[in-house]
């Protein structure tokens, strides 16, 4: 009996050993515990995942440099106003766009590029990247990049914001192998509901309450409140000593000796 039981167990172990095991099975939705007194948020175990597999949510240098980013899934008529303010205030930013936005708003894409902003990849069809194969991910990212390259002077992309902030260690690693850097955020609020806008002062206060050195700020361009608050945000943040930088600057800081940046 013992011999039979041992044989059965050995067979089971051999079968299990032959099965493909996904060590990156856990999927997550980006989120954090907001900081207090203008300190960065706490992201828990996500910190270690980004350190191991690559990605940003914050400039950890402690410098009073901040990074404006926008998500553009569709157009609500306000993006031109955002661009007007950014151009007037000389603030660089990154617009993470989908295929739908590119197809419907070619002029806005060209304007973003011509005015010195970065167009980031938010995928073409907005799928959950934790559920797709590497080939599907590649098609999503390449299709969006090609759509932007066809209508503007920006021919390549390197920054990716995953749809809905959903990620896994495996999805970050696959994107990295395809040449992309995941960019999450350290400051955001509920601003995407176009039927629940509460006035620009509330949007302004949300950012001012949460601001911290190194913040990557996520705003949605469908928000009327954000469009009206932006110029006041830029002016008031500058009064507090903050400087607006591009994501390229953030990545370069990690690649170049800190002494060059005066740190």
Question: Any idea what the Cα angle at residue 130 is, between residues 129 and 135, rounded to 5°?
Answer: 60
Q: What is the DSSP string of 72-134?
A: ESS--S-HHHHHHHHHHHT--EEEEE-HHHHHH-HHHHHHHHHTTPEEEE--SS---GGGS-H
Q: Quick check: is 220 catalytic?
A: yes
Is 71 a known active-site residue? yes
Q: How far apart are the C-alpha atoms of 72 and 136, rounded to whole Å?
A: 21
Would you list the DSSP string of 20-88?
A: ---TT---EE---BPPSTTPPPB-TTHHHHHHHH--BSB-TT--SEEEEEEEESS--S-HHHHHHHHHH
The phi, psi pair for 215, rounded to 5°, reads: -65, 135
Q: Which of 71, 117, 212, 225 is catalytic?
A: 71
Question: Which residue among the candidates 117, 191, 220, 225 is catalytic per the annotation?
Answer: 220
Cβ distance 171 to 133 under 8 Å?
A: no
CA torsion angle 82 88 90 95 (round to 10): 20
Catalytic sites, residue numbers: 71, 220
């Amino acid at each position: 009996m013992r011999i039979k039981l041992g044989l059965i167990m050995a067979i089971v172990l051999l079968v299990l050993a032959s099965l493909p095991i996904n060590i990156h099975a856990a999927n997550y939705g980006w989120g954090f515990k907001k900081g207090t007194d203008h300190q960065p948020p706490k992201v828990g175990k996500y910190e270690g995942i980004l350190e191991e597999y690559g990605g940003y949510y914050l400039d950890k240098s402690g410098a009073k440099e901040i990074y404006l980013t926008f998500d553009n899934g569709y157009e609500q008529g306000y993006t031109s106003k955002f661009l007007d303010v950014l151009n007037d205030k000389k603030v660089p930013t990154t617009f993470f766009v989908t295929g739908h936005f590119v197809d419907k708003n070619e002029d806005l894409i060209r304007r973003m590029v011509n005015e010195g902003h970065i167009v980031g990849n938010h995928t073409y069809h907005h799928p959950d990247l934790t559920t797709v194969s590497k080939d599907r991910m590649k098609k999503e990212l390449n299709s969006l990049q090609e759509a932007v390259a066809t209508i503007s002077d920006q021919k390549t992309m390197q920054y990716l914001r995953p749809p809905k902030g959903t990620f896994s260690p495996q999805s970050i690693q696959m994107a990295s192998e395809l040449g992309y850097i995941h960019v999450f955020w350290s400051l955001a609020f509920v601003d995407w509901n176009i039927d629940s806008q509460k006035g620009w002062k509330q949007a302004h206060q949300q950012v001012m309450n949460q601001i911290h050195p190194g913040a990557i700020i996520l705003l949605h361009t469908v928000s009327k409140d954000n469009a009206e608050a932006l110029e006041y945000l830029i002016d008031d943040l500058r009064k507090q000593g903050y400087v607006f930088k591009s994501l390229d600057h953030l990545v370069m800081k990690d690649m170049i000796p800190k002494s060059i940046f005066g740190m």
